[in-house]
Every structure is written in structure tokens, then in C-alpha cells.
Amino acid sequence: MVIFSVYVVNKAGGLIYQYDNYVPRTEVEKTFSYPLDLVLKHHDEKVVVSFGQRDGIRGIKFIVLADPRQSGIDALLRKIYEIYSDFALKNPFYSLEMPIRCELFDQNLKSALEVTEKASNFGAGS
């Protein structure tokens, strides 16, 4: 299972934080010329988008893009809220509605994502 990305959106709809957890590497790069001869095909792979909003912070949205089989997304959203509260809101240099630029926030978010992914992988293999 995999968690692809985490986004935090402010009240006005502006992106204040983005973390791409899983970025597939491109094997081959190809350039195209105009006009493009593309055929779009429907693939059955889906991505789950989970929105989270906590009562303490009105208007802030926590968005997680994850594999549909990923478990523990609700707990992860609660943990992201806790990390946001501890490392962004309690930071005296952080202003509400501004982009989050805090190394401790980044480190703790990465740790929470790893724990969630490992817990899901452990449960799937049992």
C-alpha cells in the first residue's frame, strides 16, 4: 500500500503545504511535437482522496492521496492535525494562512507516513 501525497489547504483555498511521498520515477522521457497523436485509455487503477477537517482549526483542510487499499487514513489525518498543531501553530514565527516551512513539521509528517504505511503492510501480510 502507498500514500502518494499530503496537502494542506487554507481557508481561502490556497495550498500552504505539499509533500509528495511517492513519486514514480520516469524510465523514459519523450518529447512530442504539435499536433499530439494521443489516445486516452481507461485504466482501472483508482486513487482515494481523503479530506480531513478538525474542529479546532476552521477552514484548514488536510488532504491525503492514497491507494484505496491503504488502511489507517482516518488515524493519519488525526495525526497530521496533531503535527500541524504542535509544529506549525505553536511556532512563534508561523503566521496563519501562510505556507508551512518548518523542518520539524516535515520530519514528523514523514515519520507518521512511514508508520501508517508499515502498519498497513504488516496487516496485509498477516
Q: In whole numbers, what is the pLDDT of the chain averaged over residues?
A: 79
Higher pLDDT, 12 or 76: 76
In a domain, 38, yes or no: no
In a domain, 87, yes or no: yes
What is the pLDDT, as a whole number, of residue 82? 93
Long-range contact list for 23-29, CB < 8 A, 24+ apart? Answer: none
**pLDDT tier at 44 (50, 70, 90 boundaries)?**
low
Question: Domain tally for the chain?
Answer: 1
Residue range(s) defining the domain that contains residue 65: 3-25+56-121
What is the pLDDT, as a whole number, of residue 67? 83
In a domain, 126, yes or no: no
Q: Which of 11-25, 46-60, 97-111 shows the lowest mean pLDDT across its residues? A: 46-60
In a domain, 34, yes or no: no
In a domain, 35, yes or no: no
- C-alpha 113/C-alpha 57 separation (Å) is 22
- C-alpha 116/C-alpha 126 separation (Å) is 16
Q: Which of 25-34, 97-106, 108-117 shows the lowest mean pLDDT across its residues? A: 25-34
* CATH of residue 112: 3.30.450.70
In a domain, 40, yes or no: no
